[in-house]
Structure 1
Amino acid sequence: MQLLEAKLQKIDRHNYRSYSSLRGEYHFVDFDFFIDTTQADPFAPASRVRARRKWSLTDLAWLKAQSADYQRAARDFIARQFADLAQQVNEIQIDRPGQTILDRTAVVFDDEGIELRFRIDLPSDGRTIIAKKTANLLTFTMPKIIRRATIARELPMDELKRHCETVEDQVALRRQLKDKNLVAFVADESILPRLAGNSELPLPDAIPFVSPENLAVELEAPHKGKLRGMGIPKGITMIVGGGFHGKSTLLNAIESSVYDHIPGDGRDFIVTDETATKIRAEDGRCVHQVDLSPYISNLPMGKETSAFSTQNASGSTSQASWLQESLEAGAQTLLIDEDTSASNFMIRDERMQALIAKSDEPITPLVDRISLIRDQLDVSVLLVMGGSGDYLDVADTVIQMHNYEAIDVTEKARKVVASHPTRRQLEGSAELRLPRTRKLNRSALQTMLEDGKFRIQVKGKNALRFGREFIDLQALEQVADASQLHTVGWLWFLLAQQKGWESSPCKAFGKLLDDNWFQMMPKHGDLAKPRVIEVMAVLNRMRAAEFK
């Protein structure tokens, strides 16, 4: 600490860039402090710093003996406590988690102790260094926050344990889905609605969820015990009902539950198949060498669709591409909302079939392929549908949402099908195969970084900058946190260190995202682990990416 104070006195009233002389390691009485980067001016991104504290000084060494999921939740909890303690200190920021509990780098455990990774805005008067103010921040205010966030007696231990046990429960519940032949589980008393369209907080006074009797199952959580709730079976499940009755709300809760939620979120005992992927129409996106032939063929002027590329996809083309890309990335469950889908991709009704001959229509609608997705690819589909009853012919389960209450209407739907048979003509072939794996040009990724200034930056959850390219990600509703996108960019950087073509990008990213994924990353505190499916979804939207 004395060394840091001495360096600060030496640069007092100097130009702001003199802060660069502070980079390095400093030893405080009970922790080590590292300044990894310093900002070039007061308006640049805050300086990156780290603090390491030995287990023996924290009374938290018992965490080392806990499961990996328990430790993930404990690290998440400590990051939240640090954020709360630093809330009144504008100069200190940590990557604060939201409603999900992800594997983050803001707090890292190793054999030696706990490491906090955060950012500090170094004080100034204009562009002049004020050493006294900086010394007070770094040697008085900051150490108090570090100590209180990393010592047992200052932490609400009951809350920490509940936080961690809730995560272990969710992981255990999710692991039971496959054995129970389920794709999702929604526990009774869950709160599905959110506070607002721009908020993930639960809606106060919302109607708690109750499972319909026919779909009720019991799962066992190691801490919570037996939990009753609605099990959504594998196969084709339709969620139907009137407008504003909770159809999309149920789907949104299910799609977000590929990740774990904090206690009290309302979705903390909802779990979903971790490969579940929501697809939608996305006008204007790029598509790279995707086999669309099961859904789109016979395009004008003989354009081939078995390896289709475009920089400006239509609604139906983009949704078909997303479906195929998701299967390539390993999705076992597809989630679809009619409201965000291309109508001509979803259905071609009897009258349109009579008006436009199949030979003049390039699109084979999903309604004619969905049973093959289930039967031949063993992929389940969960879709919200309010306007087309033709999907009732292939649905295994039908759930009606009425006043936010779930009702099993499967038998009623079958009677409707029997009494109102469809007169549509089935379109498309009787065979479906998984899309082939595309190869990725690793050298093209490296070129993108070399051609311009090296940049891996994010703008919320809506955009990622990689080199010169800005990738629009507004349609990716399952990205839980901007920190996941930071990690996506660094994963590409790692892959780009090798030349030539990567024959199996999904497997390559899967290997990089093993249990020790962050050890290969820069020592940044704003990284969070994404799914391989998200890594590929972002890559598929990079316009300069090269596949074959």
Structure 2
Amino acid sequence: MQLLEAKLQKIDRHNYRSYSSLRGEYHFVDFDFFIDITQSDPYAPASRVRARRKWSLTDLEWLKDQSADYQRAARDFIARYFNELAQQINEIQIDRPGQTVLDRTAVVFDDDAIELRFRINLPSDGRTIIAKKTANLFVHTMPKVIRRATIARELPIDELKRHCEAIEDQVSLRKQLADKGLMAFIADGSILPRLAGNSDLPLPEALPFTSPDNLAVELQAPHRGTIRGMGVPTGITMIVGGGFHGKSTLLNAIESSVYDHIPGDGREYIVTDENAAKIRAEDGRCVHNVDLSPYISNLPMGKDTNMFSTQNASGSTSQASWLQESIEAGAKALLIDEDTSATNFMIRDERMQALIAKDDEPITPLVDRISLLRDQLGISILLVMGGSGDYLDVADTVIQMHNYEAIDVTEKAKQVVESHPTRRQLEGSSAIEQPRTRKLNCAGLKAMLEDGKFRIQVKDKSSLRFGREFIDLQALEQVADSSQLHAIGWLWFQLAQQKGWEKAPSKTFSRMLCNDEWFRSMPNYGDIAKPRVLEVMAVLNRMRCAEFK
């Protein structure tokens, strides 16, 4: 501490860049402090720092004996508490978690210490250093926050335990899905609607969810015990209903529940198969050597769809590509909303079939391939559908949303199919195969970084900068936090150190993320969160300069 004060006095009234001399390690009475990166300018991103406090000084050593998921939740809770303590201190910032509980690096548990990773905006007068103000921040203000966030008597321990137990419950529920033949589970009493389109908070006056009796199942949670709710079976499930009755709201709750949620969110006992991917149409995106032949063939000008590439995909080709890319990356369930889909990819009705001969139509709609995805590849599909009844012919389960209430109308749907048989012709009966694995050029990634001065930057969930390229990610609705994108960039950085072509990139990323120490090969940053392999590959597929074969 005295060393830090001495260094500050030495650079008092110097140019702001002199802060770089502070980089290094400092020993306080009860914690060690590290200044890893100092900002070069008052308007540059804040300086990166770390504080390590030994377990013996925290009375929290019991956390080391808990499960990995309990510890993940405890680290998340400490980061949230640190954020609350620092809210009134403009200079101190930590990676603030949202409604999901991800595996983050803002707080790290080591064998000997709790490590906090956060940012500090170093004070100045214009571009001149004010040593007294900075010393007060480092010596008085910051230590109080560090100590209060890492000692049992200052933490709301009962609340911490509830937080961690809720996460363990969700993990346990998710693990039971496969044995129960389910792709998702929505507990009774869950709150599905969100406060606003730009807010992930629960809507206070929302109607609690209630399961229809025919779809009700009971799962066992280690802390809460028996939980009743609606099980969404594997296979093909349709969510139907009138407009504004809650169809998309139910789908949104299911898609977000591949992750765990905090207590009080309303979705903390909703769980979804962790390998569920939401797909949609995405006009203008790039596509790299994807086999679209099960859905699109015989394009004009003889364009090959067995290895389809474009820098400007249409709605149908983009959605077909996303479907194939997701299965290639390991998706076991697909989530689709009619509102965000390409109509000609989803359906071709009998009148259009009569008007345009099949030989003149390159698209085989999903309705004619969906049962093969289920039967031959074991892929479950959840569809929100309000405008096409032709999917009733292939649906295993049909759920109607009426005034935000779920009703099992599977038997009624079967009666409708029987009394109103479709007259459209089946257009795709040939076998469907697992999409082939594409190779990735690692040298191409390295060249992009070298050209862009190794820039890996994230501002929000809509974009990732890798080298000189800004990757548009606005369509990826299952990215829960921008910190996941930061991790994705550093995963690519590691792959870029290899030579030649990576034969199975999704499997490689899976190995890189498969253990609790996944972040150790990355910089000591506090704004990194574990992504799913599905998102790592989805972002990579949207990199316009990526090279696949």
Give TM-score, length-normalised by structure 2: 1.00
- Residue 424 (structure 2) pairs with residue 429 (structure 1): no
CA distances 1:24-60 after superposition (whole Å, capped 9, x unpaired): 0000000000000000010000000000000000000
Tell me the SS of whatever aligns to 2:443: helix
Contact kept, 8 Å, 2:452 with 2:466, in 1: the verdict is no
Q: Residue type matched to 1:35 in 2?
A: I
In the TM superposition, 1:92-103 aligns within 5 A as 92-103=92-103
Tell me the SS of whatever aligns to 2:454: coil
Distance, in Å, in 2 between the alignment partners of 1:177 and 1:541 is: 31
What's 1:458 paired with? 458
What's 1:371 paired with? 371
Tell me the SS of whatever aligns to 1:63: helix
The Cα of 1:451 is off from its aligned counterpart by 1.3
Q: Residue type matched to 1:217 in 2?
A: V
The Cα of 1:468 is off from its aligned counterpart by 0.1
- Residue 149 (structure 2) pairs with residue 137 (structure 1): no
Tell me the SS of whatever aligns to 2:438: coil
The Cα of 1:514 is off from its aligned counterpart by 2.2
Distance, in Å, in 1 between the alignment partners of 2:301 and 2:323 is: 25
In the TM superposition, 1:281-292 aligns within 5 A as 281-292=281-292
What's 1:257 paired with? 257
In the TM superposition, 1:340-359 aligns within 5 A as 340-359=340-359
- Residue 528 (structure 2) pairs with residue 527 (structure 1): yes
What's 2:323 paired with? 323
Distance, in Å, in 1 between the alignment partners of 2:397 and 2:428 is: 24
CA distances 1:299-318 after superposition (whole Å, capped 9, x unpaired): 01111100100000000000
The Cα of 1:452 is off from its aligned counterpart by 2.3
Tell me the SS of whatever aligns to 2:201: strand
Q: Residue type matched to 1:454 in 2?
A: F
The Cα of 1:429 is off from its aligned counterpart by 3.2
CA distances 1:198-220 after superposition (whole Å, capped 9, x unpaired): 10000001000000000000000
The Cα of 1:270 is off from its aligned counterpart by 0.1
- Residue 378 (structure 2) pairs with residue 393 (structure 1): no
What's 2:167 paired with? 167
What's 1:518 paired with? 519
CA distances 1:473-506 after superposition (whole Å, capped 9, x unpaired): 0000000000000000000000000010000001
What's 2:127 paired with? 127
Q: Residue type matched to 2:108 in 1?
A: V
Distance, in Å, in 2 between the alignment partners of 1:494 and 1:255 is: 29
The Cα of 1:328 is off from its aligned counterpart by 0.1
What's 1:384 paired with? 384
What's 2:494 paired with? 494
Distance, in Å, in 1 between the alignment partners of 2:463 and 2:23 is: 31
CA distances 1:40-82 after superposition (whole Å, capped 9, x unpaired): 0100000000000000000000000000000000000000000
Distance, in Å, in 2 between the alignment partners of 1:108 and 1:518 is: 10
In the TM superposition, 1:72-83 aligns within 5 A as 72-83=72-83
Q: Residue type matched to 1:390 in 2?
A: D
Tell me the SS of whatever aligns to 2:177: helix
Q: Residue type matched to 2:439 in 1?
A: K
The Cα of 1:511 is off from its aligned counterpart by 1.0
Distance, in Å, in 2 between the alignment partners of 1:59 and 1:107 is: 16
Distance, in Å, in 1 between the alignment partners of 2:191 and 2:451 is: 49
The Cα of 1:459 is off from its aligned counterpart by 2.4
Distance, in Å, in 1 between the alignment partners of 2:113 and 2:32 is: 11
In the TM superposition, 1:21-60 aligns within 5 A as 21-60=21-60
What stretches of structure 1 move > 2 A for 4+ residues in a row?
none
Q: Residue type matched to 1:539 in 2?
A: L
- Residue 465 (structure 2) pairs with residue 443 (structure 1): no
Distance, in Å, in 2 between the alignment partners of 1:303 and 1:476 is: 28
What's 1:407 paired with? 407
The Cα of 1:454 is off from its aligned counterpart by 1.8
Tell me the SS of whatever aligns to 1:401: strand
What's 2:183 paired with? 183
Distance, in Å, in 2 between the alignment partners of 1:66 and 1:454 is: 38
Q: Residue type matched to 2:497 in 1?
A: Q
CA distances 1:102-157 after superposition (whole Å, capped 9, x unpaired): 00000000101100000000000000000000000011000000000000000000
Tell me the SS of whatever aligns to 1:413: helix
What's 2:468 paired with? 468
The Cα of 1:23 is off from its aligned counterpart by 0.2
What's 1:297 paired with? 297
Distance, in Å, in 1 between the alignment partners of 2:431 and 2:98 is: 43
Tell me the SS of whatever aligns to 1:266: coil
Distance, in Å, in 1 between the alignment partners of 2:303 and 2:12 is: 68
CA distances 1:302-358 after superposition (whole Å, capped 9, x unpaired): 111001000000000000000000000000000000000000000000000000000
Distance, in Å, in 2 between the alignment partners of 1:452 and 1:263 is: 42
In the TM superposition, 1:153-164 aligns within 5 A as 153-164=153-164
Tell me the SS of whatever aligns to 1:512: helix
The Cα of 1:430 is off from its aligned counterpart by 2.6
The Cα of 1:425 is off from its aligned counterpart by 0.2
Q: Residue type matched to 1:492 in 2?
A: W
Q: Residue type matched to 1:430 in 2?
A: S
Distance, in Å, in 2 between the alignment partners of 1:430 and 1:266 is: 44
Q: Residue type matched to 1:540 in 2?
A: N
Contact kept, 8 Å, 2:438 with 2:503, in 1: the verdict is yes
Distance, in Å, in 2 between the alignment partners of 1:75 and 1:270 is: 22
In the alignment, structure 1 segments of 5+ residues that lack a partner are none
Distance, in Å, in 1 between the alignment partners of 2:247 and 2:143 is: 49
Distance, in Å, in 1 between the alignment partners of 2:430 and 2:40 is: 62
Distance, in Å, in 2 between the alignment partners of 1:250 and 1:459 is: 29
Distance, in Å, in 2 between the alignment partners of 1:526 and 1:514 is: 19
What's 1:477 paired with? 477
Distance, in Å, in 2 between the alignment partners of 1:486 and 1:118 is: 15
The Cα of 1:287 is off from its aligned counterpart by 0.1
Distance, in Å, in 2 between the alignment partners of 1:449 and 1:430 is: 43
What's 2:332 paired with? 332
Distance, in Å, in 2 between the alignment partners of 1:458 and 1:239 is: 35
In the TM superposition, 1:82-97 aligns within 5 A as 82-97=82-97
Identity %: 83
Distance, in Å, in 1 between the alignment partners of 2:507 and 2:527 is: 24
The Cα of 1:453 is off from its aligned counterpart by 2.1
Tell me the SS of whatever aligns to 1:179: coil
Distance, in Å, in 2 between the alignment partners of 1:110 and 1:240 is: 49
Give TM-score, length-normalised by structure 1: 1.00
Distance, in Å, in 1 between the alignment partners of 2:351 and 2:41 is: 65
Q: Residue type matched to 2:144 in 1?
A: K
- Residue 539 (structure 2) pairs with residue 538 (structure 1): yes
Number of corresponding residues: 548
- Residue 232 (structure 2) pairs with residue 235 (structure 1): no
Q: Residue type matched to 1:6 in 2?
A: A
The Cα of 1:379 is off from its aligned counterpart by 0.4
